[in-house]
Each structure stands twice: as C-alpha cells, then as structure tokens.
Amino acid sequence: MALSPNNHEVEIYRYQGGKWMKINSLEEHVQRVTSIDWAPNSNRIVTCGADRNAYVWTEQGGQWKPMLVILRINRAATYVRWSPQETKFAVGSGARLISVCYFEQDNDWWVSKHIKKPLRSTVTSLDWHPNNVLIACGSTDFHARVFSAYIKEVDEKPAATPWGKKMTFGNMMAEFSNGGGGWVHSVSFSADGNKLVWVGHDSSVSIVNAASDSVMATVKTSNLPFTACSWITDNNILVAGHDCCPMMFSYDGNDKVAFKARLDEEKKAATKKVTAMMHFQSMDKRAQTVDEHITALGTIHQNTITQVSIYSGTKSNVTKFATSGIDGQLIIWDVKSLEARIAGLRIR
C-alpha cells in the first residue's frame, strides 16, 4: 500500500504478521503529494504534487528509483491515473489541462501532450475507458467530459465506440453539465466503458449511458456533498463523501438512478470528556482549543471519505472495496458480509 500523510512524502506499507509495516519512504517531491497510483502489472508507482511535478517510481533491489516526468504545467498537479494497459498515464492540474504522459524510448524520459480546450478550471478527477484511449475528467467548472487521449506512438488505432468514432488526440467526445452547479469531484467509467457516473458538490449522482443516446440521469440527495464514486457491478455504484459513510446507488438502465442503501450501520454517537492533557495537546498541535466534550460519529469513518478503491474484483463484480479519508483510516469492506448484515441488500 502506498499513501501520503498529507505532506511531501510517500510511504509504502506491507501487510505482514497481521498488521501493516512501513517498509519504504519515497522523498522526491518538495511540496504536498496530491495523488498516487500504483500499476499492478508493471509494478510502477506514479505520484504528482503541488510542486507541479510528477514522478514514476521503479523498484530496484528493494529500493524505489524516481524518474521525472515533463508535465509542462504552471499550477499544482491534482490527480493522476495509469491507463488500463499501463503504457501511459494522465495528470490533471490546476492549469486547466490534462497532461497525457508516455515514455519516450529515444530520450529515456516521460513526456506529455496536453488536452486543454474546453477546460475552464481545475481538473479534480480522471478515469480511463477500458480501451486505453478515452479518458473521462471532472472539473471545478461544473462539467464532466470525455476526451480522446490517443497517442499514435503508443496506441493501436482504436475501434469506434458508442462515445464516437473520431479519436484524434484531444478530441472531446462528450460534455455534460452538472445541473445543480456543483463541482464534479469524481468520475468513473463502467466495466464495459459505455456508462459514466460522476458525483458533484451539490450532493448529486449522475449517470450517462452512451449506448442509449447519452441521456443523463440524475438524482439529487439531501446528503452532504459526495467526493468519490466507483462502479462495483454493471448496475450499482459506490458513493462516499462528507457523510463519512459509503452508500450504494443503483441504475436501472432506463435512465433512472436511485438510492439503495447506506453500507455502514449508524450507531449511537459516543461522547467523551476532554481531559486537561487533551486540551493542551490540541493547543500545541493545532493552535486551537477543543470543546469540553468530544462526540464521536456513529460511523466507522470519523471524517470525510476522500477515496473509494476496488480492493478485489473488477468494476463488474467487486468482492471487496476500500475507503480512506481525512480521519487517517483505510478500511476494507467485504461485499458478502455487507449483504449478510444489511437487510434486503443484494449487490448484483
């Protein structure tokens, strides 16, 4: 597992002896690391940060060696994801563009091409289509978009998809407005690549099916804003955010999205009295005082969930998934256990 403790370092942990052990620390960034992605097949890690840099890390004899990526951006890098075939990766940034990066064998470095128009604000999230060419992005200009990231030096000529036929680099295949006016925080392609889901700061979940005339289906909820989403079956979506609880929504294939279940059982909130030691520790570490009583949430996560990841399975059949958040916890959830515990829940 690779993570950043909200600073310039990347820490690598290995699960052994029933607990996670730190085995490496990657220190090349000079400002906060904003995103990490680990390629499962090539065993390479890519990181990006607020220092406007990205690095590809390769393991050699138990040590990780960095290689600088030529991003050519003048604002912080915000999000990075490997393509399905791990031949390239994409980096979103505050520079209102996407850097699609690939390895240039002749010069032995990673170079990039830019997707710019019509992006008008920071790119917050990315997800690759299964064909290794199309890429979806969400941004703070209230839009979700699908672009072609075809690079002839890397990719074979792609076949037509329901998103369109013209796939020259940078061509925008589709554009959707998040109707409520909220930032788009996360996007996710379905397993077959025909459907796209995104969540917004207006607490909405939206889905488009390119194989069905790209009609947008949206449900607006009374929850706190969502920050992450992912398909876990062909018709079910995992969503999480400021409510500190993973939730499930379903898509019926007929342009309707519906809430299905909360996946963390609410328990009665616990309250504990603040000791003098806790009071002064808070003043020392955070330069602020704490209330006389601290109330713990009734959920496992005690603060915003910022990421949901597939731990076991594929987007068409997830058996385990992981959530991580601002509370510093990473939790692995077993789908079968959730079905057994939550009455009426069936995840298919």
Please report whether residue 79 resides in a domain.
yes
Q: Say what the pLDDT of residue 343 is.
A: 72
Q: Same domain, yes or no, for 50 and 123?
A: yes
Q: Say what the pLDDT of residue 215 is.
A: 87
Classify residue 156 as exposed, middle or buried by CB count within 10 Å of its CB (0-12, 13-18, 19+).
exposed
Q: Same domain, yes or no, for 100 and 140?
A: yes
Which of 39-53, 244-258, 315-329 is predicted with the least confidence, judged by mean pLDDT? 244-258
- What whole-number distance in Å separates Cα of residue 215 and Cα of residue 222? 23
Do residues 86 and 118 make contact, with C-beta atoms less than 8 angstroms apart?
no
- What whole-number distance in Å separates Cα of residue 305 and Cα of residue 287? 25
Q: Same domain, yes or no, for 279 and 246?
A: no
Q: Same domain, yes or no, for 269 and 166?
A: no
Q: Same domain, yes or no, for 101 and 219?
A: yes
pLDDT band at 267 (very low <50, low <70, confident <90, very high): low
pLDDT tens track for 271-317: 455 566 766 666 665 555 555 556 688 899 999 999 999 999 999 99
- In this prediction, what percent of the chain has a pLDDT beyond 90? 78
Which of 47-56, 98-107, 186-195, 258-267 is predicted with the least confidence, judged by mean pLDDT? 258-267
Distances (CA, A) of 131 to 93, 204, 223: 23, 28, 34
Which domain does 196 fall in, by range?
A: 2-263
Please report whether residue 202 resides in a domain.
yes
Q: Same domain, yes or no, for 273 and 168?
A: no
Q: Say what the pLDDT of residue 273 is.
A: 57
Written as six digits, the tokens of 324 are 């991580």
Q: For the domain that residue 87 is a member of, what is the CATH number? A: 2.130.10.10
Q: Same domain, yes or no, for 62 and 199?
A: yes
Q: Say what the pLDDT of residue 284 is.
A: 60
Of 206, 237, 263, which one is at a domain's C-terminal end? 263
Higher pLDDT, 98 or 212: 98
Q: Same domain, yes or no, for 16 and 144?
A: yes
Q: What backbone phi and psi angles, to 5 degrees, belong to 280? A: -75, -30
Q: Say what the pLDDT of residue 272 is.
A: 52
Of 263, 286, 321, which one is at a domain's C-terminal end? 263
Q: Same domain, yes or no, for 179 and 283?
A: no
Please report whether residue 51 resides in a domain.
yes
Mean pLDDT of 69-79: 97
| 75 pLDDT higher than 60 | yes
Please report whether residue 307 resides in a domain.
no
3-state SS record for 252-282 = CCCCCEEEEEECCCCCCCEEEECCHHHHHHH
Higher pLDDT, 337 or 276: 337
Domains held by the chain: number: 2
Written as six digits, the tokens of 277 are 């030691």
pLDDT tens track for 136-165: 999 999 999 999 999 999 999 999 999 999
- In this prediction, what percent of the chain has a pLDDT beyond 70? 91
Q: Same domain, yes or no, for 148 and 270?
A: no
Please report whether residue 313 resides in a domain.
no
Q: Same domain, yes or no, for 58 and 88?
A: yes
pLDDT tens track for 40-51: 999 999 999 999
Strand ranges of the sheet holding 195-200, from the earlier edge strand across to the other edge: 184-189, 195-200, 204-209, 216-220
Please report whether residue 235 resides in a domain.
yes
Written as six digits, the tokens of 127 are 């997800």
Q: Same domain, yes or no, for 212 and 274?
A: no
pLDDT band at 254 (very low <50, low <70, confident <90, very high): confident
Please report whether residue 346 resides in a domain.
no
| 321 pLDDT higher than 60 | yes
| 259 pLDDT higher than 90 | yes
Please report whether residue 339 resides in a domain.
no
3-state SS record for the chain = CEECCCCCCEEEEEEECCEEEEEEEECCCCCCEEEEEECCCCCEEEEEECCCCEEEEEEECCEEEEEEECCCCCCCEEEEEECCCCCEEEEEECCCCEEEEEEECCCCEEEEEEECCCCCCCEEEEEECCCCCEEEEEECCCEEEEEECCCCCCCCCCCCECCECCCCCCCEEEEEECCCCCCEEEEEECCCCCEEEEEECCCEEEEEEHHHCCCEEEEECCCCCEEEEEECECCEEEEEECCCCCEEEEECCCCCEEEEEECCCCCCCEEEECCHHHHHHHHHHHCCCCCCEEEECCCCCCCCEEEEEEEEEECCEEEEEEEEECCCCEEEEEHHHHHHHCCCCCCC
Q: Say what the pLDDT of residue 181 is.
A: 73
Please provide the size of the chain in residues: 348
